[in-house]
Structure 1
Amino acid sequence: MESARKLLAIGLSSMLAVTLAACGVKEEAKPAQPAASTNTNPANTATDKKPVKLRIMWWGSQARHDATLKALDLYTKKNPNVTFEPEYQAFDGYLDKMSTMAAARNLPDVIQTDAAWISDWGSTNRLMDLTNAINTKDVDPTLLNTGKYKDKLIAIPLGNNSFGMVYNKATVEKLGITPPKHGWTWDEFFKFAKDAKAKLDKDKYVIKDFTVENGFYDAYQLSKGKGWPRADGKFNFDKATWLEWMNKFAEMRAAGIVAPADVNVSDKKLDAKLDLLVQDKILLRDSHSAEFTGFDALKPGQLALVTAPKDKQGGGWLKASMYWSISPDTKSADEAKRFIDWFINDPEAADILGTSRGVPVSKKIVSGLESKFSPADKVGIELNNKTAVDGQTFYPGPGLKGGWDKFEKEYTNLVQQIMFGKLTPEKAWDEVEKLGKEIK
């Protein structure tokens, strides 16, 4: 596929420090020096030394938090007038918190954002236009454009990323199960799940309940050649494919392959105490390549990544891992821009951040860090490369406009009722279809 090959080129060229880690200690944003940045924008050559405190917020694993805090420390050492007020957490609840802050016009100066939010946030002018404000000459234009809403660049990509699965390689080998492999099919996935359950204890499960994981149903329908379920902002759920998926999981739920509903809802991704994979309650779950270093930090050397299963087409996709954006209400816009410029272009920052946010976006940074890739970094990079072979063109979704806000809320409720056994897939589909007809 043309788009997949182009994205592969991006992945290879940016193959370096995805995991730019996590949040800011204290820092001061002094004008970027030539060695740290080549940006010639006036905002990056200022010499104003007045004290500035930047609020900065992101989500991620502990490894990302630790790395980001170290990077913020370094920035303050280089720019003593700039300090940071960091806020960081797991992904769960992050968007709700960000939305509440935006409503109160109290967003942090610098905010980590996701591709799925660009349409909603761009259409309501809740993120600053950064066009020509940051030095992005070493960032692939295709990747950079994913941060645009219409003609405005509202989000600066931080890393390359791909959607796949992470599994407990050590346990699979111990049980003598044939391990998953890159390029496997959905039939092979379902067979793996059945074979693995036969060798697991009764209170152990193979997978989470993927009926409540939108990414997995997206991958399933894409692989069948039916397109994205929310393609171009329109209701595009395929009835036969959706019912096939839901009924397959009903069978696996009954067979004990899938974690029961009460166990499933207790999961919190990348949480040392609540992540079902980390706690050895399941063997396999969803993961993006940029998340692997976080998983590996929690279970060193025990895990591996594998591509999303395919059918007629590939089921996975490549995308930007995440972005930095700036609040339109910030009173420190120039300092925030200088910081982001430094974050993506400075070699010392890259040394600290590594691949905590995916393979870095700067080609220069990638070429300088290649020899320093850790084994965990290389696992994530391999997933990017294998996914690119037949990967789909990523679609961030329609946002919550045109009735999608109601749809997403009600859809989640319906699939949860299926998971808890209170609604059959067939009856649930009737309701899903009705909701789909309300989309404008």
Structure 2
Amino acid sequence: MKSARKLLTIGLSSMLAVSLAACGVKEEAKPSQPTAAPNAANTATDKKPVKLRIMWWGSQARHDATLKALDLYTKKYPNVTFEPEYQAFDGYLDKMSTMAAARNLPDVIQTDAAWISDWGSTNRLMDLTNAINTRDVDPTLLNTGKYKDKLVAIPLGNNAFGLVYNKATVEKLGITPPKYGWTWDEFFKFGIEAKAKLGKDKYVFKDLTIDGLYDTYQLAKGKGWPKAEGKFNYDKTTWLDWMNKFAEMRAAGIVPPADVNVSDKGADAKLDLMVQDKILLRNSHAAEFPGFDALKPGQLALVTIPQDKKAGGWLKASMYWSVSPDTKNAEEAKKFIDWFINDTEAADILGTSRGVPVSKKIVSGLESKFTPTDKEGIELINKTAPDGQTFYPGPGLKGGWDKFEKEYTNLVQQIMFGKLTPEKAWDEVEKLGKEIK
């Protein structure tokens, strides 16, 4: 897992307790230098009024920080104003895809590693190679935003995938809290113990039949990614074990009924089941923690994904900025992104709202300002780093995976609603897998 450690712990210095030497990183390693000046946003600019459309997903805390940063940019460069669009993650990709089909993407869009293959291969993202000052960004992290030889996405933060739980409620219930390095056996035991002390209509976890955590379970069992290198790699025994465990927990009331489960909307003040105190624990990236904490201040804590033979969690870039190839404001969009990742005043406002910043220089300047909430996210990165999985963004929707994704979601929903047994569902999943090219 050396590559995983290297990817996202670079530049966190002593605060992150992961040294450069331990990651095997040579300090002199530098990415190719852009042709732009060291800070393109400070160069002379056309004073013609420009309105940049910009879109991102996130929690209210991220929205607030980003809007403040945009205001600061306009104060520095009065000819540039913004038309922001933002929402929760649910539905974001669908909205982005619809806009792209209509050639109406915003100038600047927040993107994710899992989408780069699909979007890069169809030329829906502008090549930003040598357009942004990235000399303080580790080359390995920067390269995660490439499709083939084109840099189509600029990483914004270091991140780790884990779980967030209601520490205050767990302490009140008097049960043993989750701990870093815990196992899947301890995870399921925690569910049983917590349910015994919870009231009616209170649950421990979401029904993870459908919530994307199956990947972590198969990884922890040492079976690799279910979509390893674009090939169908779902392990039958592991998959059935997972599905049947959650069927048992559904019957025991450890997880919510299907209709309650599908109503959940992560980090939404009104629809997030954990925020509404209906569940104790859910998945979260380190970069998402400030948003959760803002909704339940001081009550929550992070913990690693459970492990088995191997670790279940991984490190990855938190998110990226990309530019629409149809923009009429390409130069201003590039200058804005340059400013966003390199400006110290912007960094003071943004903090860790998109993960630990990618610029080593910026991180160094922020160390003394990290809040307890920031440090919680940094600890998750630290605890995941030593043996974390190498993140695989998946094959995208090529080669039949688009059909697989739709049919798979339908099948596991039928399991949740009791209309299909895991065994019969597996037969259909296996058939779909054989169609993958």
Q: What TM-score do the two structures reach when normalised by structure 2?
A: 0.94
1:56 match:
54
The 5 Å alignment of 1:139-158 reads 139-158=137-156
Partner of 2:415: 418
Measured at CA, do residues 147 and 13 of structure 1 come closer, stay the same or move farther in structure 2, by a change above 3 Å? farther
Tell me what 2:75 maps to: 77
Structure 1 residue matching 2:209: 3-state secondary structure: helix
Question: Compared with structure 1, are the counterparts of its residues 206 and 139 closer, same or farther at alpha carbon in structure 2 (3 Å cutoff)?
Answer: same
Query: Aligned residue for 1:267?
Result: 264
User: Which of 218, 223, 230 is residue 220 of structure 2 equivalent to?
Assistant: 223
Q: Contact 1:7–1:388 (CA<8 Å) still a contact in 2?
A: no
Out of 184, 187, 198, the position equivalent to 2:185 is 187
Find the residue that maps to 1:389 and give its secondary structure: coil
Tell me the equivalent position of 1:105: 103
Deviations 1:323-379 (A, max 9, x none): 000000000100000000000000000000000000000000000001000111000
Q: One-letter code of the match for 1:5? A: R
- Partner letter of residue 408 of structure 1? E
8 A contact 1:12–1:385 mirrored in 2? no
8 A contact 2:4–2:391 mirrored in 1: no
One-letter amino acid matched to 2:104: N
How far apart in 1 are the matches of 2:407 and 2:146?
29
- Identical pairs, percent: 88
- 1:90 maps to a residue whose letter is A
Q: Is the 8 A contact 2:9 2:158 kept in 1?
A: no
Counterparts of 1:405 and 1:143 in 2: how far apart (Å)?
A: 28
Match of 2:333 in 1: 336
Partners of 2:11 and 2:363 within 8 A in 1: no
Write the deviation string for residues 24-79 of structure 1: whole angstroms up to 9, x where unpaired: xxxxxxxxxxxxx9951796534311111100000000000000000000000000
> Which residue identity is paired with 1:404?
W
The answer (yes or no) to whether the contact 1:39–1:134 under 8 Å persists in 2 is: yes
Q: 1:28 — aligned with what?
A: none
- State the partner residue of 2:7: 7
1:401 pairs, out of 375, 395, 398, with 398
Q: Is the 8 A contact 1:14 1:362 kept in 2?
A: no
The CA distance in 1 between the partners of 2:432 and 2:117, in whole Å, is 21
Q: Distance in 1 between matches of 2:389 and 2:46?
A: 46
- The offset of 1:434, in angstroms, is 0.2
Give the distance between the partners of 1:126 and 1:205, measured in 2 at CA. Answer: 42
Give the equivalent residue in structure 2 for 1:33.
none
8 Å CA contact 1:134, 1:337 repeated in 2: yes
Task: Give the deviation of 1:382 after TM superposition.
Answer: 0.3
- Does the 8 Å CA contact 1:411/1:432 hold for their aligned counterparts? yes
Q: Name the residue aligned to 1:29.
A: none
Secondary structure of 1:222's match? helix
For residues 206 and 305 of structure 1, do their structure 2 counterparts lie closer, same or farther at Cα, with a shift above 3 Å needed? same
Structure 2 partner of 1:311: 308
The amino acid that maps onto 1:83 is T
Among 185, 197, 203, which residue is 1:205 paired with? 203
Change (3 A) 1:166 1:422: same
Q: Please, which of 164, 168, 174 is the counterpart of residue 166 of structure 1?
A: 164
Asked whether the 8 Å contact 1:43–1:334 carries over to 2, the reply is no
Q: Which runs of 5+ in 2 are unaligned?
A: 17-33
Change (3 A) 1:407 1:11: farther
Cα distance in structure 1, aligned partners of 2:268 and 2:274: 10
Q: 1:204 to 1:236 in 2, by over 3 A?
A: same
Deviation at 1:6, TM superposition (A): 1.7
The C-alpha deviation readout for 1:298-336, integer Å capped at 9, x for no partner, is: 000000000000000000000000000000000010000
1:374 match: 371
Q: Is the 8 A contact 2:163 2:304 kept in 1?
A: yes
Q: Distance in 2 between matches of 1:15 and 1:38?
A: 33
Match of 1:40 among 24, 37, 40: 37
User: What is the identity, as a one-letter code, of the residue corresponding to 1:277?
Assistant: M
Task: Summarize deviations over 1:262-308 as a string: whole Å, max 9, x none.
Answer: 11011010010110000000000010000000000000000000000
TM-score (norm 1): 0.93
C-alpha distance in structure 1 between counterparts of 2:130 and 2:94, whole Å: 30
Tell me, what secondary structure is at the counterpart of 2:288?
A: helix
Residues 1:178 and 2:176 aligned together: yes
Instruction: Show CA shifts across 1:217-263 (max 9, x none).
Output: 00000001100000101100000000000001111111110111011
> CA-atom RMSD, angstroms?
1.6
Give the match for residue 241 of structure 1.
238
Task: Trace 1:272-351 onto structure 2 (pairs within 5 A).
Answer: 272-351=269-348
